[in-house]
Chains A and B, each alone.
Chain A
Amino acid sequence: MQALWDEVATELASVPGIGGQRYVDRHRRRGKLLVRERIERLLDPGSPFLELSPLAAWGTGDPVGAGVAMGIGVVEGVECAITGSDMTYRGGSANPSTVTKSERFYEIARQNRLPVINLNESAGADLPRQADIFVRGGAQFKHLTQLSQAGIPTITVAFGPNTAGGAYVPGMSDYTVFVAGRGTAYLGGPPLVKMAIDEIVDEETLGGAEMHARTSGLADHLAVDEDDALRITRQIVAHLNWSKRGPGPSLPADPPLHDPAELLGCASADVRIPFDIREVLARTLDGSRFEEFKPLYGDKLVCGWGSLCGFPVGILGNNGILFSEEASKGAQFIQLANRAEIPLLFLHNITGFMVGSKAEQGGIIRNGAKLINAVSNSTVPHLDLMVGASYGAGNYGMSGKAYDPRFIFSWPNHRIAVMGPKQLAGVMEIIARNAAAGRGIEVDEEALAGQTAALEGQIETESTALFATGRVWDDGIIHPADTRSVLGIALSAVHSGEIVGADSYGVWRH
């Protein structure tokens, strides 16, 4: 488990300097702060900062981190969604992973009603890759104005260029701050202007901070330097008159009785070795308090009530695969949480629903449908924590990515796929044998064994936590000992919006 974390930690350490020392130095030489330094300066003293999807783009060929930082932190006492581009990697230009990550950013801001601060400077799209960026990338501007329409403030600070479409980032924001002599915004840069209308114009006249502050009106504030821009941004947040809509923490936030540092040893590095999910709860919940629901019924799905950082929370955790009893117990529990308007925490360690004739005849589909019905129509915030495997329909039943949980975090041992690599390869082998038998062909055992092994290896690689986080299937891999802090920040963030329980569901298949 430590080895798995070390691999993640090494990747994390590489992210802030991903642009390379030469570009970091060049950036600093221009009197600029790195994006994460800007965030550090922006936050309140003592504020935590939960960086989201720091390893986005891992394994995709795009720079790890996708050239953009985003997360949740406290500014002037207000929990904000903060993002900023990393100018040291290809001039802060957007790659396809950047688009994926920033889509997720606006989704988090919208769902959780978090004011947005955009520390922007970007050369625009990475032009050679425009095919994977241009069409879907435009949604960013829609998100900004829709956030505004929903009453969620948006602040953009222009530290550098905001070119072409990027110019609409300040354009669509409620508040804009431009750094004098640095921030620029124009639809077409001087070369394009020359090409299009044969006007020869310098950058400052075309779209400089002074021009936008004095003439065009795009800049609400003209900051003398980066620090001043951050100061003004804090001032803007201070006057937003912001209050969270959800209830504040209502229960004692005392630490667990069992040391959270032991969480690293709780889970199994090999997801095939089971462990008791209560070991995780004992090291995560306030005071290790857990009121278990139906402990004697459907015991492979542990359900119950507790609190985290003072916020009440309903928990569903896997202690094995889902049978009919587990599925209907979970569906009932989700309804209770919605009635009480309590957020739900799903702890995934699931290899799927039970299969076989006994399960099918016992109505596993019918009962599984209840769980998916409840999960899909539940309106209280869902948080997912991947503490092991999340395979097959088990992922759906546990409110996986496709079911719009507010946040998903993974431990480094996490595995995610339609099924385990060995099972998947084995299934494919059986199908191959059956096909061969149907056609009366002799099986080439050696070739089939090679094919099966290769497939197993491929699925193994494509189901790791790093692979998942690289595709933004989650919001980040966390150190197990950080679970409480991460979920605490996430829970606090979800309470920025109203917590409303569902009062209707799809037709129940009883």
Chain B
Amino acid sequence: MFERLLIANRGEIACRVAATARRLGIETVGVHSDPDRNARHVTVVDRSVALGGASPATSYLRGDAVIEAALATGCDAVHPGYGFLSENADFAQAVLDAGLAWVGPTPDQIRLLGDKVAAKAAAEAAGVASTASIVVEPGDDVPDLPFPLLIKAAAGGGGRGMRVVESPDDFADAVASATREAAAAFGDGTVFCEPFLARGRHVEVQVLGDHHGTVLVLGDRDCSVQRRNQKVIEEAPAPGLANAVRSELHRSARALAEHVGYRNAGTVEFLVGADGTIAFLEVNTRLQVEHPVTEAVTGLDLVELQLRVAAGEALPLGQDDVRLDGHAIEARVVAEDPSEGWLPQTGTVRAFHGPEAVRVDHGLAEGTVIGTDYDSLLAKVIAHADDRTTAARRLASALETTILAGVGDNRGQLAATLRHPAFLDPEALSTALLDDAPELGEASLGDADETVAHLVALAILGRRNGATHGSSAIAGVPDGWRNLRTQGERSTWQPSGGGDPIDVELTADSRGGNFQGEVLVGPVPGVTEDGTLAADERRRLTTRLSVTAADDPSTHAALVELDGVARRVEVRWSSDGRDAPIIVATPRLVTSWQRTPRFVAPTGGSVGAGPVSPLPGTVLAVHASAGDSVEADDVLVVVEAMKMEHSIRAGAAATVSEVRVAPGDRVDAGDLLVSLDVADEGDRES
């Protein structure tokens, strides 16, 4: 077995590989880009080598730098994870040429199977059903295939460089853009096209071969739900497959693996039509993102088996030893916010904690910056149970109780999907469930009442600045106490992953320590044009809150009773910072919030009508005229005073409403030179 392993990847998969290596007593060396300098994957390896750069092409795709790092640190093997260099045959060859072991199939196998067109030929030769598939280049004629077509990167995976072409008119553009994207993502711009089977089930079979001729079939997986061909939810085993179809899939996968003498872990992908017809898609010559569901139902550590095979060991078990137990489902938590049109979300992770009851693979830590350089996968949550429905519920619940603050994500939608009848019924299950059920895209975590309970606990218990910031209030006097009440105590809370801030107003009618009274949730009525207040349309709830003992001194726990229904709610600060997200938890939902600053500091250094002359002097030049839009720091006027030139700049972005001086004018200190209409934007003040 290896002594020291270089993990040529980042994020959750680098962490996951490192965990197995550590368990096996193998030293680990990581690599990292500049923005990943403080990433979790750097902290979980024994040491990590800086690759420089930020984009994949200047960092994790630099095979020579990776090999150099491995050699410099005395590694004897390289694990590529998935993505990046994992299916790059030249890189695999270079690793081998450098005298290092490659944790993956041989370069020839990668080349053969990674080329989807060649793979189809091999599949056909091995007796696996295959559909037509044509390599295309920008500028090619429209092929003679039934539309819609699917264009895919020959070298890729994960949907990058993938396009569905609905009509021949769109073909040329799609090929061109897919080629560009593939070249950027994988370093290889080859793309091919094949008939697009919109409603087929995407079923894949996990295989694992060693140097001794053993091929194991470790069951199948279904990429149950995708969104625009991006896998979102995966499970093992594939649900609703007839036994005959399942057997045929397993047989085909084994036949192909044996045909090519496959070594290490791979995945044979198929589309299965509603009638049970099987179309071979491709082979992924690497560990898959969704491998944990196979690990859950087989009880095997695929990375361990990969390492053993790569070290030349025989697989420690035979096909008869493979047992499939229960059902496992994986959900991919990505930094994409369905409620914001699936835009990739960027931000800094302020808190992350997955529930104990499930497996959570992630590369997150407090302070992890989610940028746009890498893919948007934040974490994978995997639930395992005796049956599919239980696994789905357990996973939904796990997603709802995962703490993730600071960046927008799709957990609400994942949980709603897992609870959706069309998901729970294998017959009705459609890969395109998300594309077909737009209401799922708007789903948020928890139901309205649950969220209100969180807000109430937050507004009452979160009044203090933080766990260790103490209270501004007077000991023994109830928070927010009034002897003459004109309005309730108002606060505004922002979900820390994004979304609209919510106003909460508390009106206590109790005089004791615990809160009892009315809570209003929703926008505070504003002042209308005639000075009266707008109609109050807030939700009104009779509330009682009694503080209960918490396990942890930094946590406030309380029973929150809303209109007669009580829930135990916990409120705690994710860290000590003054603006640290506040985590609110009920047994079935965890949310995180930040108090919206009560005051907004006006933009610009000086408020008021505009810049003034600093000294008595003469105007030398005027660089603005009425109606101009100016940015902060733009020079507006130059004044000569005390034999020096003074540039008078805009304090903030503004529109020039009036220029009050002309070159040659004498001005006095404090004279307003230019009237500005400052843009109505503000910086936040904590």
Contact = CB atoms under 8 A, between A and B. Distances in A.
B685 interface: yes
Interface string B563-607: 000000000000000000000000000000001001111100001
A261 B511 contact: yes
Nearest to A409: B483
B511 A479 contact: yes
Contacts of A30: 531
Contacts of A29: 527, 529-531
Interface string A38-50: 0011001111111
Contact of B480 (A47, A310, A492): A47
B607 A222 contact: yes
B482 interface: yes
A214 B612 contact: yes
Contacts of A45: 463-465, 472, 489, 491, 595, 598
Contacts of A54: 483-484
A77 B578 CA distance: 14
Contact of A227 (B479, B486, B599): B599
A47 B612 CA distance: 40
B486 A37 contact: yes
Nearest to A50: B483
B532 A48 contact: no
B535 to A, nearest CB: 15
A198 B607 CA distance: 33
Interface in B226-282: none
A258 interface: no
A481 interface: yes
B486 A28 contact: no
Given A29-B529, A29-B530, A40-B490, A46 B480 contact: yes
A485 B478 contact: yes
A158 to B, nearest CB: 15
Interface stretch (A228-236, A392-400, A420-428): A228-236
B578 to A, nearest CB: 12
Nearest to A484: B476
B480 A48 contact: yes
Nearest to A77: B472
A224 interface: yes
Contacts of B486: 16, 34, 36-37, 40
A27 interface: yes
B533 interface: yes
B487 A37 contact: yes
B428 interface: no
A48 B486 CA distance: 13
Interface in A249-294: 249, 253, 255, 259-261, 286
B481 interface: yes
Contacts of B158: none
B529 to A, nearest CB: 7
A46 B479 contact: yes
Contacts of B642: none
A195 to B, nearest CB: 29
B476 A308 contact: yes
Contacts of A228: 599, 601-602, 607
B483 A51 contact: yes
A224 B607 contact: yes
Q: Which of A40, A51, A249, A481 has the most CB of B within 10 A?
A: A40
Contact of B607 (A15, A49, A223): A223
B681 to A, nearest CB: 12
A48 B512 contact: no
Given A45-B491, A46-B463, A47-B473, A26 B479 contact: no
A215 B671 CA distance: 9
A180 interface: yes
A261 B482 CA distance: 16
Interface string B463-477: 111000001111111
B127 interface: no
Contact of A482 (B483, B491, B531): B483
B503 to A, nearest CB: 14
Given A16-B486, A261-B512, A482-B483, A488 B476 contact: yes
A47 to B, nearest CB: 6
B473 A46 contact: yes
A299 B46 CA distance: 78
Contacts of B513: 255
Nearest to B527: A28
What bracket does the count of chain A residues touching chain B fall in?
35 or more
B511 A481 contact: yes
B99 interface: no
B471 to A, nearest CB: 6
A468 to B, nearest CB: 17
A138 to B, nearest CB: 29
Contacts of A482: 481, 483, 511
B608 interface: yes
A224 B339 CA distance: 35
Contact of B477 (A48, A76, A224): A48
Interface in A367-388: none
Interface string B659-681: 00000000000100000000000
Nearest to A214: B670
Given A26-B531, A51-B483, A260 B512 contact: yes
A331 B478 CA distance: 35
B607 A485 contact: no
A74 to B, nearest CB: 5
B474 A492 contact: yes
Contacts of B511: 260-261, 479, 481-482, 485
B125 interface: no
B609 interface: yes
Contacts of A180: 607-608
B483 A286 contact: no
Given A37-B487, A224-B602, A228-B607, A48 B533 contact: no
Nearest to A254: B476
Contacts of A489: 474, 477, 481
B476 A286 contact: yes
Nearest to A307: B476
Contacts of B598: 41, 45
Contact of A488 (B471, B474, B490, B600): B474
Contact of A478 (B483, B529, B599): B483
A46 B471 contact: yes
Given A46-B471, A46-B472, A255-B512, A222 B477 contact: no
Interface of B: 463-465, 471-484, 486-487, 489-491, 511-513, 527, 529-533, 595, 598-602, 607-609, 612, 670, 685
Given A30-B531, A485-B511, 10 more contacts: A12-B483, A24-B531, A46-B471, A46-B480, A48-B482, A224-B607, A224-B608, A231-B599, A482-B481, A485-B476
13 contacts: A12-B483, A46-B489, A47-B472, A48-B481, A214-B612, A231-B601, A231-B685, A479-B483, A485-B476, A485-B481, A489-B481, A492-B474, A492-B475
Cβ-closest 9 pairs across A and B: A29-B531, A309-B476, A25-B531, A46-B463, A231-B599, A253-B476, A48-B481, A46-B479, A44-B472
